[in-house]
Amino acid sequence: MSRYTRAKDTFVDEINVEEFIDLESNQLTYDQLVHSLDKSLKMVLIFGRPGTGKSLLLSRVYQNKKKQKELYFFDTPMTSKREFFAKLFKVLTKKEMPAGSSIDFETFVEYLRNHKGQREIIILLDEAQMYPTEILEEIRILSDSGVIKFVISLHKTDDEDLIAKEHFQSRIWETIELKNANKEELKTFVHKKLLKTNQFEIANLIRNKHISLIYKYALGNYRETNKLLYTIFEIYEYYDMNDPSKIDHQRFSTKIIEMAAIKLGYIHV
């Protein structure tokens, strides 16, 4: 195994609460969301560009608060109405929906109205832009019951909050926006990820000029940064195992950063 394999694996892009890097901006959005869970809100909207950490934020809140609140995490979008309501049925009744039974939306709404004041259910709904319009409209109605609070995660696109405006305009009482890291945050992110896995020597080699170059290509996006660093160490790993004379273990290479950027399509040659 190469000395760079562990560094490469450090930047595998996955949603893992244990790998959360505590940056000031991340902690602020976490605290804001946790505070929102205690408010009498119908809906909370979380939005940001892909790769800004929305899914990780929801996952972290779920893991930390699920024993204190009636909290559920719908992490995978459901395009089937029956699949969505089968999951909702289990949340409400703690039972599986009977096979072959039909979905009566009014029965769901009536059930919730009858339990107002008895339960406060919070559903963290990731990737809301993937849900069909019909389900989004019914989520809007369910939020009016006063029993279910939805925290909705949505990609920020050029139409940024179009879905929110169309379906939830009067229901969303709080909006939390996640943004790309600035250069200083990106430096902390990269160094802390390496230090968490005891990659002290490599972390010390990554200087401000390297961070500036990484920032130039990844634009402070956490997912793109992970992809870029993974590819950088993948190249290091290859040379270390096949042609070690091509790399200097005492210096971090701007050339290899550029090679990784070319491989990922950030630079067109």
Instruction: Judge if 157 and 254 occupy the same domain.
Output: no
The confidence score (pLDDT) of residue 97 equals 84
pLDDT at 149 over 70: yes
Instruction: Judge if 167 and 185 occupy the same domain.
Output: no
Instruction: Judge if 128 and 243 occupy the same domain.
Output: no
Query: Quick check: is 54 in a domain?
Result: yes
Query: Quick check: is 269 in a domain?
Result: no
- The model carries a pTM of 0.86
Instruction: Judge if 46 and 114 occupy the same domain.
Output: yes
Q: Write b or e for each residue in 131-147: b if 16 or more Cβ atoms lie within 10 A of its Cβ, otherwise e.
A: beeebbebbbebbebeb
Domain boundary (162, 178, 194) is at 178
- 102: domain CATH number is 3.40.50.300
Query: Quick check: is 268 in a domain?
Result: no
Domain boundary (146, 178, 210) is at 178
pLDDT at 264 over 80: yes
Bridge partners of 47, per DSSP, are 154, 177
Instruction: Judge if 156 and 88 occupy the same domain.
Output: yes
Instruction: Judge if 79 and 118 occupy the same domain.
Output: yes
Neighbours of 236 (CB within 10 A): 24
State which of 12-21, 97-106, 127-136, 179-188 shows the largest mean pLDDT: 179-188
Which residues constitute the domain of residue 199? 5-14+181-263
Domain count, the chain: 2
Domain boundary (138, 162, 178) is at 178
Instruction: Judge if 199 and 166 occupy the same domain.
Output: no
Residues 211-254 have pLDDT tens digits of 999 999 999 999 999 999 999 999 999 999 999 999 999 999 99
Residues 61-115 have pLDDT tens digits of 999 999 999 999 999 988 888 899 999 989 988 888 888 777 788 888 888 888 8
Q: What is the rounded CA–CA span in Å between residue 69 and residue 62?
A: 9
Instruction: Judge if 257 and 219 occupy the same domain.
Output: yes
Q: Which segments of the chain are extended strands (E)?
A: 43-48, 70-74, 121-125, 148-155, 172-178
